[in-house]
């Protein structure tokens, strides 16, 4: 029998209206978002720039939400302390960027934040096996990082399933990229317990309704239960 799991939804602000960021965040916070996903890009590890330390600090002043910080940057160790100071709740780095992941995990944990490791669609599950037991979050990319609004890569589902079997229930298995109401149940069926969604929430005229729809799709919860929650 399938065991019911709590599925966390973490809206990514990458597709939000940055001119009204606090308002957009307040909307998803009121709608029951479980965390806020912050995509940090350096124009080097990924071919795009996004937000940095001052934006994280500014967001911290305007929300109670847990700040799930995804560093798509070449030198995560150098900048992790600044993001921790800015109020990140977790700091996730890419396995492709480091030679000594265990050392970086210890270094990030010493900053008093949760630690995550991420892997690109082209990186095999084996690349994170040695560090899996030491992290709080495993972030599986289901698009090539750098841009919101891309299509979910179905070929990553098998990797999610392989890694899910090796994780403890309290660890976040977070799936990032192309999550929609169609793909959310497939990611959850593969073992995800946390879903990042950017364009599927902020790319719609009603982000709160979109978040509710994603949660319904991910959990199969009836509409009525959610409205009274």
Site membership for Zn ion, residue 174 (CB under 5 A): no
- Nearer to ligand DX5 by Cβ, of 43 and 110: the residue is 43
- Nearer to ligand DX5 by Cβ, of 47 and 130: the residue is 47
Nearest 10 degrees: CA dihedral of 222, 7, 46, 122? -100
Q: Residue 167 class from Cβ within 10 Å (0-12 exposed, 13-18 middle, 19+ buried)? A: middle
Q: Which of 15, 68, 174, 176 binds Zn ion (CB under 5 A)?
A: 176
Residue 150 and residue 179 in contact, taking contact as beta carbons nearer than 8 Å? no
Q: Residue 122 class from Cβ within 10 Å (0-12 exposed, 13-18 middle, 19+ buried)? A: exposed
Annotated active-site residue 34? The verdict is no
Catalytic annotation, pick one of 15, 42, 68, 176 = 176
Q: Residue with CB nearest ligand DX5?
A: 198
Task: Give the position of tokens 């040695």.
Answer: 130
Annotated active-site residue 39? The verdict is yes
Q: Which of 70, 94, 159, 212 binds Zn ion (CB under 5 A)?
A: 70
Tell me the C-alpha distance between 54 and 51, whole Å: 8
- Nearer to ligand DX5 by Cβ, of 38 and 98: the residue is 38
Specify the stretch interacting with Zn ion by CB under 5 A; choose among 96-104, 119-127, 168-176, 204-212: 168-176
Distances in whole angstroms, Cα of residue 96 to Cα of each of 73, 76, 121, 135:
10, 11, 11, 16
- Please give the residues from 183 up to 222 whose contact with Zn ion meets the rule CB under 5 A: none
Interaction site with ligand DX5 (CB under 6 A): 12, 14-15, 37, 39, 70, 143, 145-150, 176-179, 196-200
Output the smallest distance, CB 228 to Zn ion, in A: 31
Tell me the C-alpha distance between 139 and 95, whole Å: 10
Catalytic annotation, pick one of 15, 34, 39, 136 = 39
């Amino acid at each position: 029998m399938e065991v019911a799991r709590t599925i966390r939804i973490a809206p990514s602000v990458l597709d939000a209206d940055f001119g009204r960021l606090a308002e957009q965040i307040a909307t998803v916070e009121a709608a029951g978002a479980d965390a806020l996903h912050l995509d940090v890009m350096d124009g080097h590890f990924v071919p795009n720039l996004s937000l940095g330390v001052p934006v994280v600090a500014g967001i911290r002043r305007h929300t109670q939400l847990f700040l799930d910080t995804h560093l798509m940057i070449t030198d995560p160790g150098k900048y992790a302390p600044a993001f921790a100071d800015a109020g990140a709740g977790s700091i996730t780095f890419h396995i492709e960027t480091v030679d000594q992941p265990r050392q970086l995990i210890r270094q990030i944990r010493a900053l008093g934040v949760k630690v995550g490791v991420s892997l690109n669609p082209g990186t095999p599950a084996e690349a994170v096996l040695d560090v899996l037991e030491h992290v709080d979050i495993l972030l599986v990319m289901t698009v090539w990082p750098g841009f919101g609004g891309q299509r979910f890569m179905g070929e990553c589902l098998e990797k999610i399933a392989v890694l899910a079997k090796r994780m403890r229930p309290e660890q976040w298995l977070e799936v990032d990229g192309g999550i929609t109401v169609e793909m959310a149940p497939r990611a959850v069926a593969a073992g995800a317990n946390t879903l990042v969604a950017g364009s599927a929430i902020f790319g719609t005229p009603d982000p709160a309704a979109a978040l509710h729809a994603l949660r319904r799709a991910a959990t199969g919860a009836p509409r009525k239960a959610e409205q009274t929650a």
